Structure 1
Amino acid sequence: MSITDIRGQILSGATPEAAIGYSDAVSQFAMFSGDPIAAADRLIEREPGLVMAHALRAWLYLLGGEPAGRPAAHAAIESARVLPATLQERGHLAALGHLASGRLHEASRVIEDVAIEQPLDLLALIAGHQLDFFTGNARMLRDRIARALPAWSKGVPGRHSALAMYAFGLEENGQYGLAEQNGRIAISDEPRDGWARHAVAHVLEMEGRHDEGIAFMREDLPSWTTNSFLAVHNWWHLALYHLELGQIDEVLELVDGPITSIAEPQLLDLIDASAMLWRLHLRGVELSQRWHVLARRFEAIWGAGGYAFNDLHAIMAFIGAGRRDLVENTLQQQAFAMLSASDNAGFAGDVGYPLMKAFAAFGEGRYGEAVRLIRPVRSIAARFGGSNAQRDIIDLTLIEAAFRAGDRPLARALAAERVAAKHESPLAQLFARRAGTQECGDCRTVACAKSKAA
């Protein structure tokens, strides 16, 4: 008799105990809690013939995006390929093979077919969902999960994870009401589901409900901060609310505390730190040694040319730290990235490289050049991944560059655009006041005295 996980998915090479352990490890991954890599390692040690334990280990390392994890992922894939496996499991290994070679789009399509055949394969849904995020495929962020939802009736273990992913997909497509509804149901079913909390946090950010967002994130801190490897990113969302409200002291407290105080940060944590420091930099906040510490941390675990979205955030840190050598090296590595056979060639060529040059120009005070480089790519920036909230840094940099370049007509147009999109936003209103005050055309910071007086 075949042994299955808790949702009826056949597991080649499993014992009943290993099937329970595998189900638990996948659940940890879905909620961004615990240590699913350690769980996968224990499974492999006990049951080396468990194909999906090797697959889970490979997915975790490859989706983590850190160069140091790639050898472990390749080893896991090779170990699994020689084992007896079902067609479903072979689908995972085929998708992993594409991902390991940098073919994110092909990996996404292959794992899509796995989930179409087996909609209760939670790992296939998680992996596909993350690939949609990395490739900026907003429609599939939603529809990949929508296709599977009829199979996830009440009582199916882990249903909250499917609802959490669906909520985030809905949010990225502007369906905020339905996104919030699904996200809150998921949280009610499993308060520790970090992805569900993350989805609702995005809704509150997009709708400009910043005070409500602060209350929402602070209402049950232990549920999403304890033993969660998404905690820093959710702290980042909390900091976004405070920043929007101009509460700089609160933002710095979060930056110096949970956002950057982790002893061994993941690459995602460094990206969040860089994104927040750059936003503060645009506001004219003095960041002293924070940039230098962050730049050193990037150097320790990141490698240029792997994924343009990450490279852009690394270059922000290097600009802030005044490390022109690292800025130039990162830019030079893009030439190799754009000639590679990986999908990152397109990510870098279409969006990443122009933005990296634009941010570097901004950092050197060449604001007109920054404007010129950002404008053609801002409307296609989803092609290199990230969320709407993360990519907002592109618009924020463009607006500030227009102000600093003295391009009052463009600054006025961009401010009006932002007010139309976020009319309740204090920051949008601040941009509008600056744009409407002629003497602020050469203003150097969003929080300047002139704009406050306007």
Structure 2
Amino acid sequence: MKDAFGLTYSGVTEAGFSSYARAVHELQCFIGDPVSSIDRAIGENPGFVMAHVFKGYLFGLATEREATAVAKACYEAALPLAATTREQAHVAALGHLAGGHWHQASRILEDVAIDHPLDAVALQTGHQVDFFTGNARMLRDRIGRALPAWQKGMPGYHAVLGMQAFGLEEMGDYGRAESFGRQAVEIEPRDGWAQHAVAHVMEMQSRQRDGIAWMRADPEAWTKESFLQIHNWWHLALFHYDLGETDEVLKLYDGPIYGDRSTLALNMVDASAILWRLALGGVDVGDRWAALAGNWSPKAAAGNYAFNDAHAMMAFVGAGLEAPAKTLLEAQREAMRGEDDNAVFTRDVGHPLTLAIKAFGEGKYDEAVRLIRPIRSIAHRFGGSHAQRDVIDLTLIEAALRAGDRALARALTAERQLARPDSPLSALFLRRAADLSEN
């Protein structure tokens, strides 16, 4: 059968496709339960190849070792099924993703979208792969190539605008990024990715008050049944953090960010990131580290995604847990012997950063500086956004200040002031560096 965009789907009936379309919409907004929806599609049509592929994408992009096993099973289920050339390319992309070869999956999905710019699943899956591999240019260009084929009124148009907004933001095109993001939210208020793209713009421009107003204007829209809501609450917390409003940050942490104590890595990354920022500023976060580290501990040996490893180490350091920290470093050493993309993520950025975080926690600030400085310019290689990777710069600045390295502290704080001239945190760093120079 053909969908509204003229794309052909194999092995599916109207009933099965209805559940598939629902799953696609849920993923485009980051709402509901796309896994249940796609399972219904598979139940209706076991031979529906794109339903198996879509489920595999959901799990393959989860950055959890257990989820990767599900993605591999979906790939095996899809492999023998009847499929068009486009669908066969999707199956191949899923196989690479499940095998940890993110860049190969990205390239196949890139070609699918070039040939079929209205393939929303190819666009969104590719966009997420670009995010997890830190490929800012493709975050923008993958969507930009397809955008002329899309028109207002088409199902999912808001998602294309939202993805374009995020890609533009990551490439520093803030004015157009905000415009695209706002248009997307106007069309579909529940589009959590578009909501977050605008928040990223305001974060990068140090527009804290605008950011708080943007996030607090209609939180019901971006939180209701949203599996991106914790990340978006984290963005709100960042605005308060930059303003020095630590009580509000802790309130958000204890409530929507980590009140439910999620065990999903994507959510624990946000929890670690906000507590680490507070700890860098000398804020006593009480026993919060212990609870978070307890949830990270079972994943210490995973070694499947370096970005997660660094955030797990933050929790282990914060809680003073030596055993899981040691397990994590051993898992990274094992990962670096692998042949998948995470071996490179870990070798280039993840391992030295994780060691630096551990050194910082042990008060070895000179060592933390030594480890972080060479990776700053290539940190995008292990994924995340500019806003997320900012924690690397924050750790480096704090390490230089605590090490008493006056020249480096002065240089780094001047650099940050130029990049974020309207940030109260930049001003605070400048004052602290100046105090070092005078003593």
Query: Structure 2 matches for 1:185-196, cutoff 5 A?
Result: 185-196=183-194
Of 149, 158, 161, which aligns to 1:160? 158
Aligned residues of 2:208 and 2:240 also touching (Cα < 8 A): yes
Q: In terms of mean alpha carbon deviation, does 64-73 or 280-289 score higher?
A: 64-73
How far is 1:266 from its partner? 2.3
Cα 1:311–1:7 shift into 2, 3 Å: same
How far is 1:4 from its partner? 2.4
Cα 1:436–1:264 shift into 2, 3 Å: closer
Cα 1:344–1:440 shift into 2, 3 Å: farther
Cα 1:66–1:302 shift into 2, 3 Å: farther
Confirm whether residue 267 of structure 1 aligns to residue 233 of structure 2: no
How many residue pairs get aligned? The number is 439
Aligned residues of 2:132 and 2:384 also touching (Cα < 8 A): yes
How far is 1:153 from its partner? 1.3
In structure 1, stretches of 5+ residues that fail to align are 442-454
Q: Could you say which residue in structure 1 is the equivalent of 2:100?
A: 102
In structure 2, stretches of 5+ residues that fail to align are none
Q: Distance in 2 between matches of 1:343 and 1:439?
A: 43
Q: Distance in 1 between matches of 2:366 and 2:284?
A: 23
Confirm whether residue 320 of structure 1 aligns to residue 318 of structure 2: yes
Q: In terms of mean alpha carbon deviation, does 232-241 or 430-439 score higher?
A: 430-439
Cα 1:264–1:407 shift into 2, 3 Å: closer
Query: Structure 2 matches for 1:406-417, cutoff 5 A?
Result: 406-417=404-415
Q: Could you say which residue in structure 1 is the equivalent of 2:114?
A: 116
Q: Could you say which residue in structure 2 is the equivalent of 1:363?
A: 361
Of 227, 233, 236, which aligns to 1:235? 233
**Percent sequence identity over matched residues?**
57
Q: Distance in 1 between matches of 2:77 and 2:201?
A: 41
Report the AA paired with residue 344 of structure 2: G
Kindly provide the CA deviation profile for residues 51-86 of structure 1, in whole angstroms up to 9, marking residues without a partner as x.
Answer: 111011100001011112122211111111111011
Aligned residues of 1:170 and 1:176 also touching (Cα < 8 A): yes
Cα 1:324–1:138 shift into 2, 3 Å: same
Q: Aligned with 2:374: secondary structure?
A: coil
How far is 1:17 from its partner? 2.2
Kindly provide the CA deviation profile for residues 221-271 of structure 1, in whole angstroms up to 9, marking residues without a partner as x.
Answer: 110010000000000000000000000000000000000022544211100
Q: Distance in 1 between matches of 2:218 and 2:7?
A: 34
Q: Aligned with 1:6: secondary structure?
A: coil
Q: Could you say which residue in structure 2 is the equivalent of 1:449?
A: none
Cα 1:263–1:431 shift into 2, 3 Å: closer
Report the AA paired with residue 222 of structure 2: W
Aligned residues of 1:419 and 1:429 also touching (Cα < 8 A): yes
Q: Aligned with 1:437: secondary structure?
A: helix
Q: Distance in 1 between matches of 2:199 and 2:108?
A: 30
Query: Structure 2 matches for 1:52-451, cutoff 5 A?
Result: 52-262=50-260, 264-300=262-298, 303-438=301-436
Aligned residues of 1:68 and 1:301 also touching (Cα < 8 A): no
Q: Aligned with 2:285: secondary structure?
A: coil
Aligned residues of 1:22 and 1:40 also touching (Cα < 8 A): yes
Aligned residues of 1:108 and 1:131 also touching (Cα < 8 A): yes
Aligned residues of 1:5 and 1:22 also touching (Cα < 8 A): no
Q: Aligned with 1:56: secondary structure?
A: helix
How far is 1:302 from its partner? 6.2
Q: Could you say which residue in structure 2 is the equivalent of 1:446?
A: none
Aligned residues of 1:6 and 1:23 also touching (Cα < 8 A): no
TM-score by length of 1: 0.95
Aligned residues of 2:31 and 2:227 also touching (Cα < 8 A): yes
Cα 1:336–1:440 shift into 2, 3 Å: farther
